[in-house]
Amino acid sequence: MLSIQNLHAQIEDDQKMILKGLNLEINPGEVHAIMGPNGAGKSTLGNVLAGKDGYEVTEGSVFFKGEDLLSLEVEERAHAGLFLAFQYPVEIPGVQMLNFLRTCTNETRIARGLPELNGMEFLKLARAKAAELKINPDMLKRSVNSGFSGGEKKRAEILQMALLEPQFAILDETDSGLDIDALRIVSEGVNALRDAKRSFLVITHYQRLLDHIKPDHVHVLADGQIVRSGGPELALELEERGYVHYEKAA
């Protein structure tokens, strides 16, 4: 599904190297967790994969479903099935959530050769997905992320994921800013989307998210490289011992 080889990436402005030879293989249906201390390059990895401006890949390659991911535009990556759930979803004042979601969905459908959904069809779909995620349908009438609570923003991200049906989703610190109840609802939403063809990359600082979203593999990212990989038990070990050991190693 996703194959990252020897990925080196730096920040364009100051040429500060953040990813320093990262390797990762993700197969269909797998859930991988990336953990690591602050500043290890976790969010950079998500941004580079999604194609955000401001980063430069200096070495290495990323293949997504056999295609050279790095040569694609941001929206082309999305059309190919890559989804990034943002740590800090941005507000777009005046743009109604429903209109935003419908535009996203239809643009993606067009790119995938599917017919567009008309207003009624889409409204039905959006309401059904919102109900599954225990989202108050009134949210669809509000402006995109404007005045949303932390929990609402993250749930809205999961709603977008549910509508766009990506094959590979990156969750960037989805647990940040969530209380326990919100965390559970968001995790349930993610778990409901897990299937044999869909893969996840869960980026998190804390183990607690992984109590809810059980990973198949856990990796420790420190100083731009994956320094250790293991099963779910690795997350528990990190919770107990912290990242101190890895920060020193880095």
Binding residues vs other proteins (CB under 8 A) = 50-54, 73-75, 77-79, 83-84, 86, 89-90, 92-96, 99-100, 103-105, 107-108, 111, 143-144, 160, 164
Give the C-alpha separation, 201 to 82, whole Å.
Answer: 11
Question: Nearer to other proteins by C-beta: 161 or 210?
Answer: 161
Minimal distance, residue 98 CB to other proteins, in Å: 12
∠ CA 178-33-168 to the nearest 5 degrees? Answer: 95
CB atoms within 10 A of CB 70: 17
Q: How far is the CB of 65 from other proteins (least distance, A)?
A: 17
Residue 60 or 89 with smaller CB distance to other proteins = 89
Please state the closest distance from residue 101 (CB atom) to other proteins, in A.
Answer: 8
Nearer to other proteins, 154 or 228 (CB): 154
**Least distance CB 2 / other proteins (angstroms):** 16
- Residue closer to other proteins by CB (options 112, 184) is 112
Question: Of 165 and 239, which CB lies nearer to other proteins in the complex structure?
Answer: 165
> For residue 146, what are the contacts with CB-CB under 8 A and spacing of at least 6?
91, 92, 93
Q: How far is the CB of 13 from other proteins (least distance, A)?
A: 9
Torsion of CA 31, 161, 144, 172, to 10 degrees: 10
Q: Which is nearer to other proteins, 161 or 209 (CB)?
A: 161
Beta bridge partners of 168: 82, 199
Give the Cα separation of 76 and 111 in Å (integer). 8
Least distance from other proteins to the Cβ atom of residue 241, Å: 35
Within the chain, strands assigned E span: 2-11, 17-26, 31-35, 55-64, 67-68, 82-85, 92-96, 143-144, 168-172, 199-204, 217-222, 225-230
Question: What order do you get walking across the sheet with 168-172 strand by strand?
Answer: 82-85, 168-172, 199-204, 31-35, 217-222, 225-230
